[in-house]
Structure 1
């Protein structure tokens, strides 16, 4: 028997423990506490029967390590429902809870919905028809205590029907929970009174509670984020999660919308029912893998869950979840909008005239804040109507009516190939509408219409990114790129091809091979279907083929090398229009990738590359790099360490130049000192001449202003002389930062920086004899450049120059290396091993604990 029946019990799902008898603190009624009644009240019975229940649940979850014995997720949920219902029916019968007893056990939550998960709470209401408190207490104790003592998680309440209705009338979460109520055992008429009463009360009061309901939904979404776009989503409470499916049911019960709104016959992924089942299956396996109740899917569990559900790896699981959550999210948007329009009017609003139908385009009108078809529209005879409706929605930011989308999905024929010019123009209107086009494309996609217009879209729909710097799925990233590109159309001579290039730049992903090459072939196919001129089809294909050329070259190659610029010009065949379009697309693509990917440093690098390409295309000579400042060479002659800092082109960027005797470890020491002073390195170059080294860094302070020049020089001298342990100081700075972020006053041990994605090293050929390029992709950490440079120097790889790009939480650093013992497979493997040793690694299955330093 529990020693503390008050402190260890679960919360009441109906929102209050004081509205009727409940066995918490005072097990029932208003009598004395449990401790004061211990000599007069009967002791609750032995929990043996509840122990049998627990053992039976454990047997269901125990697969004995055999796949053949393992119950799949839907079967397991049904088996758990049957098991709990059997126990409750047996227990109820033993206690005399029968048809004429005035008592009933009602299930809410997962058991009420027949969606019992392995470690879900058991949510029960003991209904009674004014049973005396002492008799009611005995019955309640004999139900609750065996469950508690067997460690079954229990949410409970004991109420009359009027008490339960009173709670639901004042508490929206409680009302939503009781809408799932289902009779289990006992007086079914009593249960029906509650179920019908709750539903009737919900329908009658929804008008006055709708704004509060919206407020609670919005707060939940803000708190839990989106399931579709979170690395570790909250499957229950996030936007597009299971709570939203229950919300749709609640709106349907209120007779404000259908339970499955806005989805036509061609909806991808199987529609709302399949989305609901997918979310349930993943959450079921999450419970089974975690061994306890859990709503948030952790990254380290994703592969195991994907394999258990026979979906695939974590990327396949992420794609399944994205599809399900976006389908649910779209359905909720439609449901809430339909519900808001369906609410009965009150007050002066009842006197307003019916909404008028305002023409927007041929066959398209606005009605009640939505884009709908005109009365005389004939979708079956108007193939271009789909794009025309979408254009009206994108340009006005009005949502398309679910009924309109369903009708188009059912009746509108395929566009003939090549498309009519009017349909292509309407598509360009959609793409050029800025942020308004995102919702329009999402609505078309969730109802199967976007895939009808662009069949190749299916390969990238809900495709998760393989790179940690990407925020969105590939299809949503593409749409975000188009929205960004629409703001750059006045910078190019062919805005139509910029829009189409942005739409198709990643269309080759998800098919294997180089997505730029695959995408270029698909762009040719799509361009011909859209009815572009042959020369425009060639240009569109080239945009897709080379959309990464400018950012890759600018951030990974030496722009002072004429061969670098010549390589770009040759690839583009000297086409200045193509160069112009790729410049704008590079910015739009970077902005849509994630925070920190586009900035003044990357913008200046690409801009300088484009400027040099234009000069070469025009037949002018390329600029030559500035010679080393003679003043710096004079400083180098004295054999001392010098630090010079000057403002650079950007508002928050500076050039810090270190002049010192050439020695192994100088680049690592200099980068470490800069990191110690919270200076983010944007690029670095190394020059050795006459036994002296000139290392130049483009830096940006993470906060505040640049530290004093003398302080940087002093710390660098100490580091070179071995009097400043940079590794120890950087680790301490990491620890202090982690402590500050946690808000704890206690000093913690230096945290291991686990990465969400494993680091990756890529080799390229250099443009000079004996030069190779090593690109390092990893998650960022304090002093990473110093550690990598130190690792390279230790294995005899001489760094000639480096370009450092910090993209949100990730880095993509390129080092031009001269390897002293030659470039061969064995040497590269040795270099890779040294670099990987200092990069943040992916988290282990169970991270080691961080202990207090006390």
Structure 2
């Protein structure tokens, strides 16, 4: 009998695989989920009957995806065998579970009486929520009905005392899963705005704390379920994190253009769900509190309990600035705006037409300068259509996924995060209002087919005029957006000690010191809002050095000379007969007679000891190379300097098989991820010396700098200086190359790309 049941379970697996197989008539989305539910339920009904689950105090019920009739491919079956305390239940349970285990079907199971199940639910939130989705499968429907009714009654009776537990559980899950709307690789089930949050909304509705989720939440739920369904089919297993390499295939199955269109749709759905959960949790808690007091915050704005609301005498349709006062008050105090206030403003607040009154501009600047509270307020305004009234241009970047892997936010969220970061620099600049506006608008030109800085400058000019800025301020705002990448690109791709570099930046900025300081603050805010590792001490020092030189040039002061070698390094260069390695603050100095191959050999020896080169600066003194590497161990302790010197000497004389050792090390520790983006090379002309700058962007790996330097050496080029930056798992390395004709760029580029791959 057991063998027959095992064979039947194998038939179930084969039937499931046929449903999931590719083909011209394959099912997708809701149709596929319904077919999977019908298939598993049909099999379970027959299997339960053969196992002894019959009417009379014994029932098989489903919770989870099967209980909700939302079974996605390769889901576990969440089953409960409910009984009335009779003997012999364990034998029935073994006959039930064994074939499923044996066939490899995921199974989450339990055997309980109605009373036992309700007692477990009283102590375990996950069980309590699961029983709300219970559905009868086989056996005695009366006992299934008693459990379902008891679970709902207990949930309604005790939900107020458990609301803090519900909120804390959700926050822990969000901390683990991140935000579905803004993660490059979102967790569709557990992340904030994911499918577990939809189940939470259903549970709050069952408890009658909130209404049933509105139609837009149902639509968002359907989209996330469709994405999760196709993701699991593509992955061939139980995966809930949508990885970038699966995006195009999932998008094609759903009829979307590409993975970017998929990411945008997913982000919009998750934001709809996330906002609904925030509102529902607040609404669910309100009746349990005392009648809230009302405290005035601004004209027409009060704090009602924990929410920012409209005063009783507020007249939204006569007060065009009321919306901005409400938003600024909420952001400043990190308080939510009451849903009723948002609804009234959405219905009756007049549209602000240009030029805005001064009070409206002041309210916007106050809102943008409010700090971290800005994020939730903009989200609330955007989900209710109010943010789009203020900025009609926002639609092009709403939910727009980033094209650069360094960005962790969607473009619209990145703009808001940049404003939050810029607010921290408001006291460093003479025009904090223009800084905050520039932060909000700097990437507004993305999502088009043209240079986003050029498009963004035109949009900034349009927005500035509508806001009522003076013509000179409109020009400054447009220039701030147009040139928001000038400082970081110049500092990392050119020699900032070169007078021509400084003169070029000063010329581009029209000699305007206010614009320079605004760009400096925006550069930092933009990088900090990009993601971890985008703003480093090294990058801050480079940009700061460039700004100081430009400021001096604008003031008519002589430019500071290039950073000289320290007396110790200069003395070392004069006396060094062979290679010398010396530990300096945060890295190592390599001093040796200048010769081809020194850079690659030095970088290779550092890589052998798992030293990650964060930056490298090459200089020379009296024919001796002085290469300074900012490097730190990827793990473990720093190596002995004497060992580094000995291995560098061997590498230079050819007795150390450097390439073989590095290859073995990479095999041990692994190279870059299989789905890493392809490397990219950019070229920039260096006006002062006639050199060109090659910039490499690639996935980081052990020994990468060594391999790239070897490629340049094999091409016979002379590296004048190099700057190396590691940002998370990506490197941006710049090499100034002398004497390279335009005709050889393609040859050098191919060699560098081959080394990076």
Normalised to the residue count of structure 2, the TM-score between the two structures is 0.92
Residue-by-residue CA offset, 1:49-100 (whole Å, 9 max, x unaligned) = 5555444323321233x3xx121212111222233334445566788978x7
Q: Contact 2:331–2:373 at 8 Å: present in 1 too?
A: yes
Match of 2:198 in 1: 245
Greater alpha carbon shift after TM alignment, 301-310 vs 722-731 = 722-731
Given candidates 47, 50, 61, the residue that maps to 2:20 is 61
Relative to 1, partners in 2 of residues 1:830 and 1:250: Cα closer, same or farther, differing over 3 Å?
same
Distance 1:585 1:800 in 2: 31
Aligned to 1:173: 126
Q: 2:313 aligns with which of 376, 380, 384?
A: 376
Give the secondary-structure state (helix, strand or coil) at the position aligned to 1:830.
Answer: helix
Does the alignment pair 1:553 with 2:473?
no
Query: What's the offset of the Cα at 1:426?
Result: 0.9
In the other structure, the counterpart of 2:730 is 810
The equivalent of 2:252 in structure 1 is 307
Per the alignment, residue 286 of structure 2 pairs with: 341
Question: 1:419 aligns to what SS in structure 2?
Answer: coil
Deviation of the 1:804 alpha carbon: 1.4
- Farther-moved stretch of structure 1 (332-341 vs 521-530): 332-341
Q: Distance between the aligned counterparts of 2:429 and 2:99, measured in 1?
A: 74
In 1, Cα distance between equivalents of 2:49 and 2:646: 84
> Residues 832 and 811 of structure 1: is their aligned pair in 2 closer, same or farther, counting only changes over 3 Å?
same
1:440 is matched with which residue? Answer: 377
- d(CA) in 2 for partners of 1:355, 1:240: 29
8 Å Cα contact 1:635/1:642 also seen in 2: no
Give the secondary structure class of the aligned counterpart of 2:427.
helix
Deviation at 1:154, TM superposition (A): 3.4
Residue number in structure 1 paired with 2:71: 116
Distance apart, 1:147 and its partner CA: 4.5
Match 2:390 to one of 446, 449, 453:
453
Higher mean alpha-carbon deviation, 634-643 vs 507-516, is at 634-643
Instruction: Note if 1:751 corresponds to 2:707.
Output: no
Quickly say closer, same or farther: Cα 1:675–1:155, change in 2 above 3 A. closer
Structure with higher helix content: 2
> For the Cα contact (< 8 Å) 1:643–1:712, is it kept in 2?
no
Q: Per the alignment, in what secondary structure is the counterpart of residue 678 of structure 2?
A: coil
Q: State the number of aligned residues.
A: 754
From 521, 525, 541, the equivalent of 2:478 is: 541
C-alpha distance in 2 between matches for 1:705 and 1:799: 31
How far residue 151 of structure 1 moved from its aligned partner, in angstroms, is 4.5
C-alpha distance in structure 2 between counterparts of 1:811 and 1:485, whole Å: 26
**Matched position secondary structure for 1:435:** helix
Tell me, yes or no, if the aligned pair for 1:796 and 1:819 is still in contact at 8 Å.
no
Using the alignment, how far apart are the partners of 1:617 and 1:556 within structure 2?
A: 22
Which residue is 1:488 aligned to?
A: 425
Match of 2:151 in 1: 198
Point out the more displaced range, 516-525 or 54-63.
54-63
Match of 1:664 in 2: 596
Q: Structure 2 matches for 1:206-605, cutoff 5 A? A: 206-260=159-213, 271-343=216-288, 354-605=291-542
The alignment's TM-score, normalised by the length of structure 1, stands at 0.82
1:185 Cα deviation (Å)? 4.5
Aligned equivalents of 2:57 and 2:639: distance in 1? 79
8 Å Cα contact 1:289-1:305 kept in structure 2: yes
Moved more, 800-809 or 427-436: 800-809
Q: Which residue of 2 aligns with 1:19?
A: none
In structure 2, relative to structure 1, the CA distance for the partners of 1:249 and 1:630 (3 Å cut) is closer
Equivalent residue in structure 1 for 2:717, among 763, 786, 797? 797
Query: What SS class does the counterpart of residue 532 from structure 2 fall into?
Result: coil
Residue 751 (structure 2) aligned to one of 815, 834, 842: 834
Instruction: Report Cα offsets for 1:368-397 as digits up to 9, x if no partner.
Output: 211112222233333322221110101111
Q: Return closer, same or farther for 1:394/1:658 CA change in 2, 3 Å cut-off.
A: same
Deviation at 1:446, TM superposition (A): 2.8
Question: Cα deviation per residue 1:381-419 (whole Å; 9 max; x = unaligned)?
Answer: 333222211101011111112232233223323222222
* 2:648 counterpart (716, 727, 744): 716
Q: Note if contact 1:686-1:799 (Cα within 8 Å) is conserved in structure 2.
A: no
Determine if contact 1:125/1:159 at 8 Å carries over to the other structure. yes
For the structure 1 residues 434 and 630, does the alpha-carbon distance in structure 2 shift closer, same or farther, using more than 3 Å as the test? closer
Deviation at 1:420, TM superposition (A): 2.1
Given the superposition, is the C-alpha separation of residues 627 and 138 from structure 1 closer, same or farther in structure 2, using an over 3 Å criterion? closer
Q: Work out whether residues 45 and 142 of structure 1, in 8 Å CA contact, stay in contact via their aligned partners in 2.
A: no
Note the C-alpha offset of 1:204: 0.9
8 Å contact from structure 1 (residues 797, 819) kept in 2 = yes
Structure 1: gaps (5+ residues): 2-42, 262-269, 346-352, 736-748, 842-854
Counterpart mapping for 1:610-689 below 5 A: 610-625=547-562, 640-643=577-580, 652-653=585-586, 656=589, 658-660=591-593, 662-676=594-608, 678=611, 680-687=613-620
Please tell me whether residue 77 in structure 1 is matched to residue 33 in structure 2.
yes
**Displacement, 1:639?**
7.8
Secondary structure of 1:527 counterpart: helix
Provide, for residues 524-578 of structure 1, a one-character-per-residue CA deviation record: whole Å limited to 9, x for no partner: 1111111111211111000000011011111110122221111111111111111
- Relative to structure 1, the CA distance from residue 712 to residue 56 in structure 2 (aligned partners, 3 Å threshold; closer, same or farther) is closer
Equivalent residue of 1:623, what SS? coil
SS of the equivalent of 2:589 reads strand
- Tell me the CA shift for residue 787 of structure 1: 2.0
Q: Give the structure 2 partner of residue 778 of structure 1.
A: 698
CA contact (8 A) 2:573 2:591 kept: no
1:620 Cα deviation (Å)?
Answer: 3.2
State the distance in 2 between where 1:171 and 1:522 align: 53
**More displaced, 753-762 or 486-495?**
753-762
Cα drift, residue 580 of structure 1: 1.3
Deviation at 1:509, TM superposition (A): 1.0
Structure 1 position 218, deviation (Å): 3.1
What residue number does 1:27 align with?
A: none
Alpha carbons of 1:116 and 1:628: their partners in 2 closer, same or farther (altered >3 Å)?
Answer: closer
CA contact (8 A) 1:369 1:398 kept: yes
What is the CA RMSD across the aligned residues, in angstroms? 3.0
1:182 aligns with 2:135: yes
Would the alpha carbon gap of residues 128 and 832 (structure 1) be closer, same or farther in structure 2, given more than 3 Å must change?
same
Give the Å deviation of 1:177. Answer: 0.8
Q: Cα offset for 1:234?
A: 2.5
Partner of residue 695, structure 1: 626
- Cα offset, 1:155, TM superposition: 3.2
**Alignment check: 8 A CA contact 2:184 2:244 kept:** yes
* CA deviation after TM superposition for structure 1 residue 427, in Å: 0.9
After superposition, the C-alpha distances for 1:777-829 in whole angstroms (9 at most, x for unaligned) are 11223332222111111111211111112223322111111356x321xx323
Aligned-pair CA distance for 1:280: 0.9
Give 1:483 deviation, angstroms.
1.0
**Contact kept? 1:731, 1:750, Cα under 8 Å:** no
